[in-house]
Chains A and B, each alone.
Chain A
């Protein structure tokens, strides 16, 4: 017998799950990504490198800037371009803005209704209007940063190889420093709310992240340091899904907020570090549901870090100068921590044109783990709880991964 869930709601993109039951036992769970294929790497082949980040940004609206930055980093590495500190800091600020926008969308508008038993944030707002408004204020702030650095709230084209189209000015950075400080109180309040979340979705054992907090030169995990994605991670296509599945040394693994906190807590800002220490034991237990708690701690980190970056740039001062980029040959990988986890863009460029392109998104990295988490929940609840409760819990488990299904459906064979 197969129980099929309806399409997941309050997640980005279209997907569902199938629970395979044999002889009254849960045998398997398959996560079916039914979002159509999108062929993004094919689209970039033969294109001029300069245009590619703007196209790749369109893989995802929630994390477009992560895609632009990963794409730009891969291109700069391939063409041997070094950018100065202020360019790197401004890109980090953009990624921080994206983290704020994405985490607050997920926590306040997608997860919070579950905590209070409402179908959505709009109905939740009738009773808890302040909470929803706080979430919206955080989201709007994240988007203001994306607009400033990325050139638009969604799919901006301002992040370019070598620098930016338009550089932010002093007043704009001052506003960010000030607003980040004001919103920190709101995020700290949210930690209390989301730390009430229960344990579900099984326990992850393997975690992968980039070696820097939001960008990096290589990957790290809880079993080894500094490896390239193709040395350890294998992708395989599935007959029942438009998204491929990745395994790390043959095993499912977790990327995203929880993985980042567990692998890189030493890089956190003071308040975020304190909150991490307070919750360390629970986070280290590895329950998938604690990805929500990890996200809310990261929200505090992001607000503190946004203020820090703005202040550093303001104190130091900077000249808006782009590094010239010449068309040439080369190969490069851009590693970025998108809000949902590790994102890889890998290109080979010949005479300024893309001739090989490979992209792996966080949701694809998490796909196998997601099936494992659902299997764990299904085995736990099947026969012990009514079917609608089982299905609701499965949906909550999927939501804890904060999947981005649109991102996951456009892989090209390496």
Chain B
């Protein structure tokens, strides 16, 4: 099978995390041939059984790359929170013109920037794997499943579940730290509570039956002000798929 990796605007982590599979990368290569992946190769392919897109659409160049990737891939995966929810770079809620002025000093837009938005705002994807960065085991399993013709399983539980399974001390209840674990999609193995710190919500909100209002009240009860809590909620997921 042929695999393409396309990077839009991001920190490079989602492409890099794929290389961090180390020896298991060679297991992936038993099934896939990497046809395009500009961080890793200078080859350029034409058609892909599976395409991975990382990053936000932040310029016309990104949009062109995304449309090409969609048109040339049978199965397209939005990979990482930039691609699925917009992540940090989409969280600044100013008009694009004002943002560009603050950063580059004039109101022109010679490089044709767009307001950063997730991939899923522009094209339909076959699978969305969030995470800043995503959990590399989840991607590994998804790629193997697809190669075998099985639809990958999507996690549907909060970070709290994995935190409890690991028997970490609850930082929200015990330390009063702002932890978004109860309303954040699990799958990271509760990596931040492992460090004794609160979940910052990098996998985006848990879909379905969640209770952000309850979390809001809990945090307010702990003494955090409303603006702080709202900003925390929207840091990684101003856009929701």
Q: Which residues of A contact B (CB under 8 A)?
A: 7-14, 34-43, 47-48, 51, 54-55, 58-62, 64, 105, 109-110, 119-123, 136, 139-140, 143, 151-158, 160, 164-166, 237, 239-242, 244, 395, 404, 406, 409-413
Nearest neighbor of A6 in chain B, beta-carbon distance: B44
Judge whether B73 is part of the interface by a CB distance below 8 angstroms: no
CB neighbours of B23 from chain A (8 A): 136
Partner of A410, one of B103, B114, B235: B103
Q: Are B17 and A9 in contact (CB under 8 A)?
A: no
- Asked whether A413 and B103 contact (CB < 8 A) given A120-B42, A165-B195, the answer is yes
Partner of B12, one of A9, A13, A48: A13
Partner of B100, one of A10, A37, A241: A37
CB neighbours of A55 from chain B (8 A): 88, 235
Nearest neighbor of B59 in chain A, beta-carbon distance: A36
How many of chain B's residues have a CB under 8 angstroms from any CB in A? 62
Q: Are B100 and A119 in contact (CB under 8 A)?
A: no
CB neighbours of A11 from chain B (8 A): 39
Least CB distance from A155 to B in Å reads 6
Q: Are B200 and A38 in contact (CB under 8 A)?
A: no
Q: Are A237 and B104 in contact (CB under 8 A)?
A: yes
Among B3-11, B139-147, B149-157, B211-219, the stretch that binds chain A is B3-11
Q: Are B40 and A109 in contact (CB under 8 A)?
A: yes
Known: A110-B40, A154-B16. 10 other contacts (CB 8 A): A34-B61, A35-B9, A36-B58, A42-B102, A139-B20, A155-B13, A237-B104, A239-B108, A240-B110, A412-B102
CB neighbours of A153 from chain B (8 A): 17, 20
Least CB distance from B168 to A in Å reads 10
Q: Are B105 and A237 in contact (CB under 8 A)?
A: yes
Q: Are A61 and B111 in contact (CB under 8 A)?
A: no
Judge whether B196 is part of the interface by a CB distance below 8 angstroms: yes
Selected A-B contacts with CB under 8 Å, 7 pairs: A12-B16, A36-B9, A40-B88, A42-B92, A61-B133, A155-B133, A244-B104
Q: Are A154 and B42 in contact (CB under 8 A)?
A: no
- Asked whether A406 and B113 contact (CB < 8 A) given A39-B89, A151-B194, the answer is no
- How many Å lie between the Cα of A55 and that of B14 in the bound state? 16
Partner of B196, one of A166, A244, A395, A411: A166
Interface SS of chain B:
mixed
CB neighbours of B108 from chain A (8 A): 239
Q: Are B12 and A12 in contact (CB under 8 A)?
A: yes
Least CB distance from B120 to A in Å reads 17
Nearest neighbor of A165 in chain B, beta-carbon distance: B195
Q: Are A122 and B110 in contact (CB under 8 A)?
A: no
- How many Å lie between the Cα of A212 and that of B179 in the bound state? 36
- How many Å lie between the Cα of A42 and that of B98 in the bound state? 11
- Asked whether A413 and B42 contact (CB < 8 A) given A60-B11, A61-B17, A151-B194, the answer is no
Nearest neighbor of A9 in chain B, beta-carbon distance: B42
- How many Å lie between the Cα of A60 and that of B15 in the bound state? 12
Q: Are A36 and B116 in contact (CB under 8 A)?
A: yes
Q: Are B10 and A406 in contact (CB under 8 A)?
A: yes
Q: Are B59 and A34 in contact (CB under 8 A)?
A: yes
- Asked whether A413 and B105 contact (CB < 8 A) given A58-B132, A120-B42, A166-B196, the answer is yes
Q: Are B39 and A10 in contact (CB under 8 A)?
A: yes
Judge whether B84 is part of the interface by a CB distance below 8 angstroms: no
Most buried by B among A11, A37, A410, A413: A37
- How many Å lie between the Cα of A96 and that of B8 in the bound state? 29
Least CB distance from B232 to A in Å reads 8
Least CB distance from B12 to A in Å reads 5
Partner of A156, one of B10, B58, B92, B195: B195
CB neighbours of A9 from chain B (8 A): 38-39, 41-42
Q: Are A154 and B17 in contact (CB under 8 A)?
A: yes
Judge whether B184 is part of the interface by a CB distance below 8 angstroms: no
Most buried by B among A8, A119, A154, A239: A154
- How many Å lie between the Cα of A120 and that of B45 in the bound state? 14
Q: Which 3 A-B pairs have the closest CB atoms?
A: A36-B58, A61-B13, A120-B41
CB neighbours of B88 from chain A (8 A): 38, 40, 43, 55, 58
Judge whether B172 is part of the interface by a CB distance below 8 angstroms: no
Judge whether B210 is part of the interface by a CB distance below 8 angstroms: no
Partner of A54, one of B9, B13, B42, B200: B200
Q: Are B91 and A37 in contact (CB under 8 A)?
A: no
CB neighbours of B38 from chain A (8 A): 7-10, 14
Q: Are A166 and B195 in contact (CB under 8 A)?
A: yes
CB neighbours of B123 from chain A (8 A): none
Q: Are B11 and A58 in contact (CB under 8 A)?
A: yes
CB neighbours of B125 from chain A (8 A): none
- How many Å lie between the Cα of A209 and that of B197 in the bound state? 33
Q: Are A119 and B92 in contact (CB under 8 A)?
A: no
Against A, the Cβ 8 Å flags (1 = close, 0 = not) of B190-232 are 0110111100101000000000000000000000000010011
Nearest neighbor of A32 in chain B, beta-carbon distance: B111
- How many Å lie between the Cα of A409 and that of B89 in the bound state? 11
Nearest neighbor of B133 in chain A, beta-carbon distance: A154
- How many Å lie between the Cα of A62 and that of B89 in the bound state? 17
